[in-house]
Amino acid sequence: MKRRVDLIDQFADLVVGADDPRRLAERTLEVVMSLNNGRSGAVFSCSDDRVALFASRGIDQAVLDAVETVWSRSRDSLRKGETFYVPDRTVERRLPPENGDQSGAASFAVVPVFEAETLVALLYVDSHDPHFCASHDLERLTKFSRIVAKAVTDNVPVGTSGTSPAWRASWVSPVARSTCGCSATTSRASGCPRPGCVPPPSKPVPPGVLTLPPTPGGRRIPAA
């Protein structure tokens, strides 16, 4: 068992430099499902009081319903770092009974994923077999938190934590204008030929406000 845990650590070190966040999450799910004889797996990003599907492998509507219920009823414990484990879905009292036409997972686990002390994602994995995770298996799932956290936070737009350089490069500050309408760069650096042109004052971009050039009608786009 010690050797397998060490291999997971090595795998984490290897993939932490991956460039595509969503693909990184998908590959991580494939490894997690292989190690745990999983039926399906998913990563859900967490923002404020909402969760959103980020990446998945083999999930169905029953998985989405289950995660929504777990989040609505157990978000406080998840934020404390507690894994939500259902060893046998047929006798689980924390969740509503399954519909008769559903033949989904026999057991599943929802693992909270943190960046520093902030809950950023949920890692979901299930199985056709009941009791598919022993205590050491649940501990092994948490070993993938660092990878999942990287994938989710690297995909966050500008204005939030974990912003990737690629996102930052696609945003620019608004262009200041002089009294005659020329750019601040033209007015100050090369001199505007129009008489009476007064360069605009240097002002910092207001917090949380960024623009993409060009924007229709010069509208400002709030940072996400």
Instruction: Tell me how far apart the alpha carbons of residues 60 and 31 are, in angstroms, rounded to a whole number.
Output: 19
Q: Three-state SS for 183?
A: strand
Tens digits of per-residue pLDDT, 193-205? 555 555 544 443 3
Residues 192, 186: Cα–Cα separation, whole Å: 6
The CB-based long-range contact list for 83-89 (8 Å cut-off, 24+ gap) reads: 83/109, 83/110, 83/111, 83/112, 83/138, 83/141, 83/142, 84/109, 84/110, 85/109, 85/110, 85/133, 85/138, 87/130, 87/131, 87/133, 88/130, 88/131, 89/130
C-alpha span between 194 and 71 (Å, rounded)? 62
Q: Indicate if the pLDDT at residue 148 is higher than 90.
A: yes
Token couple for 75: 């978000």
Q: Is the CB of residue 223 less than 8 Å from the CB of residue 210?
A: yes
Burial category of 181 from C-beta neighbours within 10 Å (exposed 0-12, middle 13-18, buried 19 and up): exposed
> With 70 as the cut, is the pLDDT of residue 160 above it?
no
Question: What is the rounded end-to-end Cα distance, in angstroms, of the chain?
Answer: 43
Contact indicator for 149, 139 with CB cutoff of 8 Å: no
Q: Over the stretch 100-129, which tens digit does the pLDDT of each residue have?
A: 656 679 999 999 999 999 999 999 999 999
Q: CATH 3.30.450.40 occupies which residues in the chain?
A: 2-165
Helix (H) or strand (E) holding 192: none
Q: What six digits make up the tokens of 45?
A: 């990003």
Q: What is the chain's percent helix, strand, coil content, to nearest 5?
A: 40, 20, 40
| CATH number for region 2-165 | 3.30.450.40
In this prediction, residue 212 carries a pLDDT of 35
Model confidence at 166, pLDDT cuts 50, 70, 90, reads very low
204 beta partners: none
Q: Place 9 in a pLDDT band, splitting at 50, 70 and 90.
A: low
Does pTM surpass 0.75?
no
Q: Which residue has the higher pLDDT, 181 or 81?
A: 81
- Whether residue 185 is predicted with pLDDT greater than 60 in this model: the reply is no
For residues 66, 155, 112, 1, the Cα torsion angle rounded to the nearest 10 degrees is 110
> Residue 178's pLDDT is what?
45
Flag the least confident range among 47-51, 98-102, 137-141, 184-188.
Answer: 184-188
For the residues 154-173, what does the mean pLDDT come to? 41
Question: Which range among 38-47, 101-110, 178-187, 212-221 shows the weakest confidence by mean pLDDT?
Answer: 212-221
More confident: 166 or 9: 9
